[in-house]
Amino acid sequence: MILKDVQIYGAGLSGLVSAIHLARKGHDVTVYEKEKKIGGNLHCHPSVQMTPMHIQQMERYVRIELKSCFSKLNDFRGYIGQKKCVFSTKNMYVVERGPRKSSLDYFLYKIALDEGVTFKFSHALTSEELGSIPENSIIATAGYSKIVRALHLPYVTFKQFDTHIKTDLENVSIAYFGDFTTDYGYISTKNGLLSAQLSGPLNLSQENLNKFTNLVKETESIELDGWSSIIAHFPKKARLFTKFAGKTYVLGGDVAGFLDPFFGFGINGALISGKIAAMSILSKHEALQEFKQFTSHLNRDLLVHTIYWHLPFKKLILSQIMKFQDNHLSLIKRSIPGFTDEDWLKIISIVD
């Protein structure tokens, strides 16, 4: 193995996992990050994210201890319109993201520092710099970084509202489906932090946000304010490599399109794609085969998502889907990378 200097752009989960793996292999790794410190965009973080996961399987795959950052959900409930429902908590976790020392970002950052990774903050990868970075650099920037557009990748655009407040609730997630968005809004809690998010198409308005906020207050007596918003771009197709200005670059995380399009679960994809991006520095062929294994269904699921959200009577259809226990539910049963069909069905099922 020839040791080399590797540059990684983006200090999110994917970039951090890549950096840790490459540093452990003896490479000289430098991570460039747009923000002033670890933890991402302060419009989005600190936050708490809900995710399905097999912790032990994920730890074996990425070869990083993770369980100290994840907490099993105590309660996972939701509202389809005004109707309350309870979802299974099996294999469901919450994890903190952002700059606080209790976050997964900070946890991975500390490991990377211990492994000798160099960080350069306040260094945004611009479209002007993009063509001059070295061949085989890893680009693992967030969806709001504009790099997807700069790389001329076909993309979809959405708007996202975020806020967070202090709370006494611990390890709870609440999902909301309604006519205020084509996607969904949700609340998650951990480490004394409650974060809320509403995402949807670019025309998602203050009126939509008000409907969501009022529904949260009516159903859970939680008052949310202090919202901020971002515009994000995600590739229409999952890919590990892309060519730009005659060079080949490795992609990870959001910019790789490694995101479940149906429910927006991204933690699994970020961690897995970080490992695979690091693999590509050693063997492009092996990394590509691994990438295809985890992403073969994502492009199909994006089509299903697009069709579904243009159907009438979505709330009725959604409630019936979530009560359906047939393993032949072939269209949306496995939109979480690395999960089995049985795991997926348990997650979406309503508990009577």
**Every domain of the chain and the residues it spans:** 5-71+98-155+235-351
Tokens of 63: 């070869």
Q: Tell me the per-residue pLDDT of 132-178, one tens digit each, with 9 for 90 and over.
A: 999 999 999 998 888 999 999 999 898 999 999 999 999 999 999 88
Neighbours of 235 (CB within 10 A): 24
Cα angle, residue 219 at apex, residues 216 and 225 outer, rounded to 5°: 20
The pLDDT assigned to 145 comes to: 85
Query: Do 120 and 30 meet the contact criterion of CB atoms below 8 Å apart?
Result: yes
pLDDT at 210 exceeding the cut of 60: yes
CATH code 3.30.1330.60 for 5-71+98-155+235-351: no
Q: Which of 191, 195, 197 lies closest to 168, judged by CA? A: 191
The pLDDT assigned to 335 comes to: 44
Query: Do 86 and 351 meet the contact criterion of CB atoms below 8 Å apart?
Result: yes
Query: Do 309 and 318 meet the contact criterion of CB atoms below 8 Å apart?
Result: no
pLDDT at 314 exceeding the cut of 60: no
pLDDT at 34 exceeding the cut of 80: yes
Neighbours of 4 (CB within 10 A): 14
Alpha helices in 95-245 (DSSP H): 104-114, 127-130, 147-150, 206-220
The pLDDT assigned to 236 comes to: 86
Query: Do 272 and 339 meet the contact criterion of CB atoms below 8 Å apart?
Result: no
Query: Do 30 and 58 meet the contact criterion of CB atoms below 8 Å apart?
Result: no
Cβ within 8 Å of residue 313, ≥6 positions away: none
Query: Do 139 and 255 meet the contact criterion of CB atoms below 8 Å apart?
Result: yes
- When mean pLDDT is compared across 124-128, 241-245, 262-266, the lowest value belongs to 262-266
The pLDDT assigned to 53 comes to: 87
Per DSSP, 82 falls in state T
pLDDT at 28 exceeding the cut of 90: yes
